[in-house]
Chains A and B, each alone.
Chain A
Amino acid sequence: MALISIDNLTVEQRLKGVSLELQRGELLGLIGANGAGKSTLLHAIAGLHKSMGSIKIEGDPINFLPSHERARIVGIQPQAVSSAWSLTVADIVALGRMPWGDEDEGAIERAIERTGVSKFRDRNIDHLSGGERARVWLARVLAGEPQALLVDEPIASLDIHYQLAVMEVLKDYSREDNGVIVAIHDLSLAARFCDRLCLLDNGKMIALGTPKEVLTEELLCHAYGVPVDIELERDPPVVLPR
């Protein structure tokens, strides 16, 4: 059974009848132009947006779950997070245990280990660089060990080293029998890391399938309005605007 199955999901004025399934062990990339509805879709799955249609977690409708139980299964890292206070990295990661109401050292350690933030675990968040922060935010959501991890543009504004590091973490996490959905703008990295891609355009899903099926000149030109060069045979694959 699919980890998450979405049927005819509609959010007023933003999403129109999206249906897809997320399998365990899968890294699903969400692509599309700005305003296509990527964030809205992630927020709706996490229960942050009112939506119509159905969202099921392992066959159970999500709206029957109490919010903290939903939060234990579905973890989301929204775009552009910041901390209002100068908290330490360790404290921020520990916040990720909130859905469980504990401070499980094991889970926090694993999240810190996975994301490689142990070097600066005792430093304050405002003393870190953008790339270091991005990994801390990821560690925070991983500390909750959600079976379905939703991440909204985690690599925007990161240098190529951190982009790869973050994508590796997501890929590894999905391989541990979890499902991961990542909204991503970099189509080359999407092609390189994601098992399947979902292309959104104006709130509608216009393609869902392997990178090869979705990253076609016709579909991308339609979605982004610019011609693209696509070389999926190369290693690593390259997708660039012409």
Chain B
Amino acid sequence: MARLLTPLLFLILIIIAWLSLTFGSTSVSVIGGLIDWLNGEQTQAALIIGEIRLPRTLLALTVGAALGLSGAALQGLLRNPLAEPGLVGASQGAALGAATVFYFGLFAGFGTLATAVAGLLGAFAALLFMLLLAGSGRPALVIMAGLAISTVAGAALAVVLNFAPNPYAMQELVFWLLGSVSNRGLDSLYILAPALLIGAALILSQRRLLAALSLGEEVAESMGLSVRNGSRLTVLGAACLVGSSVSVAGAIGFVGLLVPHMLRPFVGHRPDRLLIPAALLGAILVCVADIAVRGMPPGRELKLGVLTSLIGAPFFVWLVWKERRRWL
């Protein structure tokens, strides 16, 4: 089962990606559209597939993969099944970083990369503060520290919103924060794809550490692994993933929480074997959720991040309930 999982998820991902390209208000030939677009022809199919659906699909897949992978990595590193980019403060940190750049035009030298860089810095700073606050060990403290950091970042974000130069800018920012992969264009991929590769490389380089950490920091250290360096690299990798995806697509919550839980029974609960399947399932889920968003009746669009929260939040409540029973 465990061996078949990754190929199986990959197959589903291809099918979902195809569905996502096919699905829309106008019916067009996907292959024809792709060929026309690649040849630079200005047909209707080329425009719809190449300029609208392809970027949207690729973006949903990369954002989902980044969130799924970062969730699996953070849960493994912190030895906590509730660790999730949103719950440990990383998403809020990234949102604060990106929002600040929106307003104050910082990092102008980076051009379009500015929000991504700020998102990454924000996510990294939030995770770093969270780890400092929680100290090592105590899994319960991680969530409390994450909550504290989220609150601080949330307050700072509220200040940014409060001093928004005009109502239109504020509305734009709020909609961006709700999370969506529509109307982003292929340029966003120039930020996301390298961030996904770097983040994944950093995290995968530490998969032995994640496996060893199942038995605690002392055991991992005693087996010759450097817990301190490895944790830093994993946190940096997770910050890369969360920072870039939040800066491009806003906050898409609960994917990082849900995905590792759904997969754990199929990989023998091993945190190291969870990573790649988590990236694949994250990509699948976000892409499916985006198809669902597009399938809603026209009018006011339901944002992707709102949909994932609506599905994910009850799941979180259920997890807390399950944990509670464990301690009773």
Contact = CB atoms under 8 A, between A and B. Distances in A.
A237 interface: no
A70 B226 CA distance: 13
Contacts, number: 77
Contacts of A167: none
Contacts of B216: 78, 81-82, 84
A29 interface: no
Interface string B213-228: 1111011011111100
Contacts of B138: none
A84 B219 contact: no
B269 A87 contact: yes
- Most A-side CB within 10 Å, residue of B218, B222, B268: B222
A98 B223 contact: yes
B219 A87 contact: no
A96 B219 CA distance: 9
A211 to B, nearest CB: 28
Interface residues of B, number: 23
A67 B225 CA distance: 7
A111 to B, nearest CB: 14
A140 B218 CA distance: 14
Interface string B194-217: 000000000000001001111110
Given A85-B264, A98-B212, A67 B224 contact: yes
Interface of B: 79-80, 139, 208, 211-216, 218-219, 221-226, 264, 268-271
Interface of A: 43, 46-48, 66-72, 75-76, 78, 81-88, 91-92, 95-96, 98-99, 124, 140, 144
Given A76-B218, A84-B215, 18 more contacts: A46-B222, A67-B225, A70-B224, A71-B223, A72-B224, A78-B219, A81-B215, A81-B218, A81-B219, A83-B214, A83-B215, A84-B79, A84-B80, A88-B268, A95-B212, A95-B215, A95-B219, A98-B212
